């Protein structure tokens, strides 16, 4: 790049540490990372992209922030993680080319912005899908292991200082695990379960083989497949097509005593049907990191069900997440500049 060539102007619209802003510039020198940390809310913890909810801009600061955002060729993050703010800047900035959402499920925010087809075709939207694959796969393994080893029984006996007769635990290398969704997270799940000796099945649209997966299952075969597996791992995004995919019909067909863990989106699992399956023993244990409504309602029976482990959508959280996303941004910026396809592009029909 010569000194006269214009850099890609990337405006940071969510909290991002200064060292990571510099990292993007180092990884891709053709990008000018524009940021004003005084206009962004402080993070309360790792990857807290929304920042402190008590943060507020003055009228003049808001104007300065909007003008900065509207000057971008590309955006790191949806402004203030707010769909209305995204819609505003897309309308105000005809040269905007690309927006990277910091969430793996960023398609939902793009959908909520209610952009017209012309804008959806003009601007490329990408997500951080895959960045969280390792941590979520570890939780999935933890959830299945907790069910296989009957963690609720162990904790109950420990709480009452009960030393029962010995009882048999299930072994992962004798189990068949079905991964519902073999995307970035699902592929990481498959790799780990395979390494631990499980037989791994996985649902697929493409039919393309995935490392560690012994059998590919079409989604229209899901109801038949669940009758033959010991554990179900859900990794799918939340879309109109996946809503309640794991519903009463699928749960009625499961092998009695199956374990389920969800590290995708809460809307994929019908919680009412899941509770019924837990109550009658078809599902022996459920480890859930995501829920249909978050935070989980105080009145939800999931809180107190003896065979449910509730995780507050925290399994993906990692102090390394911000750096991974910054590196993903730099990689995709290079792809954009070199006219190559970007990774983790949002499908603007199904919004995943």
Cis-peptide, bond into residue 119, ω within 30° of zero = no
Contact 124, 101 (CB under 8 A): no
Q: Which of 219, 224, 220, 249 is nearest to 234 (CA)?
A: 219
Tokens of 296: 């989980």
Q: Which of 50, 95, 55 is nearest to 77 (CA)?
A: 50
Distance CA 206, CA 212 (A): 16
Q: Strand 74-76: give its sheet, edge to edge.
A: 31-34, 8-12, 74-76, 98-100, 124-126
Contact 32, 338 (CB under 8 A): no
Distance CA 298, CA 316 (A): 23
DSSP SS3 for 270:
coil
Strand intervals (E) in the chain: 8-12, 31-34, 74-76, 98-100, 124-126, 176-180, 199-204, 215-218, 231-234, 258-262, 283-288, 308-310
Catalytic residue list contains 37: no
Q: Which of 313, 324, 327, 335 is catalytic?
A: 313
Catalytic residue list contains 205: no
Residues in Cβ contact with 217 at an 8 Å cutoff, skipping those fewer than 6 apart: 178, 201, 202, 203, 204, 225
**94-109 as b/e: b if 16+ CB within 10 A:** eebebbbbbbbbbbbb
Q: Which of 192, 265, 282, 328 is catalytic?
A: 265
Q: Which of 67, 114, 221, 294 is catalytic?
A: 294
Catalytic residue list contains 294: yes
Backbone dihedral region of 80: left (phi > 0), alpha (psi from -120 to 50 degrees) or beta?
left
Distance CA 199, CA 172 (A): 9
The set of catalytic residues is: 265, 294, 313
């Amino acid at each position: 790049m010569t000194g006269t060539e214009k850099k890609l102007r990337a405006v940071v619209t969510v909290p991002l540490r200064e060292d990571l802003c510099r990292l993007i510039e180092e990884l891709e020198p053709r990008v000018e990372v524009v940021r004003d940390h005084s206009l962004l809310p402080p993070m309360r913890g790792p990857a807290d992209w929304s920042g402190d909810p008590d943060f507020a801009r003055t009228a003049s600061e808001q104007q300065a922030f909007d003008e900065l955002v509207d000057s971008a060729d590309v955006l790191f993050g949806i402004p203030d993680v707010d769909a209305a703010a995204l819609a505003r800047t897309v309308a105000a900035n005809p040269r905007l080319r690309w927006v990277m959402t910091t969430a793996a499920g960023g398609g939902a925010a793009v959908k909520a912005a209610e952009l017209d087809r012309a804008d959806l075709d003009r601007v490329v939207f990408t997500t951080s899908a895959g960045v969280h694959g390792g941590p979520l796969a570890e939780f999935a393994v933890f959830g299945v292991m907790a069910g296989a080893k009957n963690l609720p029984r162990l904790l109950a006996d420990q709480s009452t200082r009960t030393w029962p007769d010995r009882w048999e635990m299930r072994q992962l290398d004798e189990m068949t695990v079905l991964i519902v969704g073999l995307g970035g997270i699902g592929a990481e799940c498959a790799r780990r379960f395979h390494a631990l000796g499980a037989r791994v099945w996985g649902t697929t649209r493409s039919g393309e083989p995935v490392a560690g997966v012994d059998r590919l299952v079409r989604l229209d075969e899901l109801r038949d497949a669940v009758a033959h597996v010991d554990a179900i791992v859900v990794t799918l995004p939340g879309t109109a097509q996946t809503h309640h995919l794991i519903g009463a019909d699928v749960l009625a067909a499961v092998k009695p005593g199956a374990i389920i863990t969800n590290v995708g989106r809460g809307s994929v699992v019908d919680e009412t049907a899941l509770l019924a399956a837990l109550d009658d023993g078809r599902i022996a244990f459920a480890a859930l990191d995501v829920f249909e409504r978050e935070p989980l309602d105080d009145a939800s029976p999931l809180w107190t069900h003896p065979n449910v482990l509730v995780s507050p959508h925290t399994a993906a959280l990692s102090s390394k997440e911000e750096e991974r996303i910054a590196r993903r941004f730099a990689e995709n910026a290079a792809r954009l500049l070199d006219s190559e396809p970007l990774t983790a592009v949002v499908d603007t029909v199904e919004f995943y």
